[in-house]
Every structure is written in structure tokens, then in C-alpha cells.
Amino acid sequence: MPLLEDYAGFRLAIVLAASSALMILGSCDRLLPTPAAACTAPETLSTIQNALTQDGIKGGYQSFEAKDVRGAFTELWRSGSLKISLSRLLSVNKDTKVVDCAANLDLTLDPQQQRIFDRIQSGKAGLLLHLALASSPGELEEVMPEFDGSHATFPIQYTRQPSADGTTFVYTQSVSKQAQRALHFVSSLKLFAEGEASGGADASDEIGKLAPAAPAADAPTSATPSAFPTIKVPQPYSSARPLILAMGWKALSYERGGEKDPCDTMQDICRRFPEVVSCAGTGLNPCKLAFIAPDGRFIVGQIEGEDPDTMTLTGLVWANADDSQYLKSLLKG
């Protein structure tokens, strides 16, 4: 059986080219008795895990450090929250000995992640939570329907290809955009859940509740620093902002252009208003903003428009636990 003999004893050497999710496998002599065994060989699956991790982090993380993201992926694979299942042979080329494989990428939320997931799904999560968990606008809305309860499955395809010099390449052939976004979402969700478990406030905390609406009033000369700004919404931001500042609130200010700076569009608005943390850049251009009180509490809001001089304040609420944790991460820089 010459074909089976060709699969025995490949010389393997380690290299990673993350940009193309292409990897050359490690230095050992491994016997692969059949082409199908190439799909399930431990070093093959380990390589595909690394390639999928690279796919997951391509979108960038706005509120988590790179080393923490990689640590989250390591723990997700180790715990089985991420796993490759039902690996199987699709085809084999007898001349080139190239093996094409298919498998499932399984994602399972742990109880902490599930609680945050449920908050998002029920509309009880913070106004800014999507900034911490999504790499692009609308990502959560696209990814979350893929989950059946705490579980989601995506099909993947990968290839194991020997070369003339005896090295063996393993690379992903087909990983959907949905799967990449789900990987990004699950790793971010894990990091957010860990942060919440290590000291974040519970979602039922009073700062998560909507503040009562009230008619506009003349700018006060003094007020309790943490009193909610009782101003009319909507109204021009040019008039609302001075009222908020006069009540003792300070514009959230953090280092622009740093690793955690999420304000990568509409830079003129971000420079004009340091409290702005994100702008959509599409449609009415909604921008999220935040103010902080001397006692450390936050309020978050939304303004709309493209011209800083004519933007409108369309919403203002107490920051809840999710919002506060995200904003504190920005301040830490």
C-alpha cells in the first residue's frame, strides 16, 4: 500500500505565519497509518487551534490587553469551552498526498459568561458593553443568534499538505466570518466575566437603573456631585454639556491613541469632547460618551450628528456595572 507508506515518518519543523493562518508542524517523526489519521493527529488539531486563535484576535480588542486575550484563548481551549469535534476526512490527493479535512468548532459558555450573555439578550446590559465585547458595529447582533442556549457550532475545513523537502503544512481552508466573530466574542466575554467576578458590581446595582426624566432647569450653581443631571432630553449638546459640568460632573478623559482607545472614527468630535468614547460613523452618527463624578460614579449618554457644533444629546443614564467596568479600564490606560 504505497499511499499509506507515504504518510509515515514525515520530517516536521516548527514555524508560524499568522497572517495567513499557515503553520508548519513541529519536529518529530510521527507515523500516520491512514490519510484520515492526518485529520485527527494531535499536532494537526493543535495547529488548527492556534490558527483559529489568530482568526479570533484579528478584529482587535478595545478594552483588553493582548497578553490577557491570548491567556483567555489558552484557558478556553484547555477547559473545553472551545474545542474541535467530529474531525473527518473530506478528500485525499494520491499524487500530492494533500489531505482535506472537515470538523466542527464548538463554543460553550460557562455560567459566568452565560449570565452576561443573558443580560445582553434581555436588554439589561450596559450601554457601552458592546464596545468591550465587539470588534465592529453590529457584531453582537450577528453572533448572538448563532447560540442555542450556551452553545454554538460552526463548520470549519482545514488541509494537511506535505512538501517536497519533507516538511508538512497545516492550514485552515474555510472559517466563516461568523465563526471568527464568535471566537472574538467568546474570548472577550470570558475576560469581561473574569473582571466582573474579581470585583465588578452586580448587574442589579442601582447605578444600572435609568435615572428619572425631568424638565430642563436653569444651570445650577451648586449640587451634590453625584446627583443625576436633571436636564431635558433631547436637546442640543452645546447647551446640555455646560449644565452637566456645572453640576460637578467631569468629562471622562483618557489617553487618546493608546491601545485601549476605542474612538477611532470622527476624531474631530473626540478631540472636541474628551468624554466621547466611540462614534459609529454611519447613519445619524451616534456617539457614546461618559462623565465621572468625584466619588467615582459614571453617567453615560449618546449624542448624534456629524458637526460638533450641532450635535444633539439623545439619551443620558446612570452607568451600570458593565459600563462602569469598561470605563474604568479606559482610565487605567
Q: What is the pLDDT of residue 75?
A: 94
Backbone angles phi, psi at 73, to 5 degrees: -65, -40
Calculated CA dihedral for residues 325, 117, 57, 85, nearest 10 degrees = 150
pTM recorded for the entire structure? 0.58
Strand partners, 250: 292
> CA torsion sign, 223 to 225 to 228 to 231?
positive
DSSP string computed for 163-179: -TTS-EEEEEEEE-HHH
How far the first Cα of the chain sits from its last, in Å, is: 61
Classified as helix, coil or strand, 151 is strand
Q: What is the DSSP letter of 28?
A: S
Q: What is the pLDDT of residue 333?
A: 56
Q: What is the pLDDT of residue 258?
A: 60
Radius of gyration of the chain (CA): 25
Is the pLDDT score of 39 beyond 70?
yes
Q: What is the pLDDT of residue 136?
A: 60
Q: How confident is the model over 166-202, as pLDDT tens digits?
A: 788 888 888 888 888 889 889 888 887 877 665 443 3
Q: How confident is the model over 9-33, as pLDDT tens digits?
A: 333 333 333 333 445 444 333 445 6
Q: What is the pLDDT of residue 125?
A: 63
Question: Contact 145/24 with Cβ under 8 angstroms?
Answer: no
Give the residue extent of every domain in the chain. 2-197, 206-332
Task: Sheet with 151-162: list strands edge to edge.
Answer: 15-17, 22-24, 168-175, 151-162, 99-108, 82-92
Q: How confident is the model over 69-117, as pLDDT tens digits?
A: 889 999 999 999 999 999 999 999 988 889 999 999 999 999 988 988 8
Query: Going by C-beta distance under 8 Å and a sequence separation of 6 or more, which residues neighbour residue 182?
Result: 107, 143, 146, 152, 154
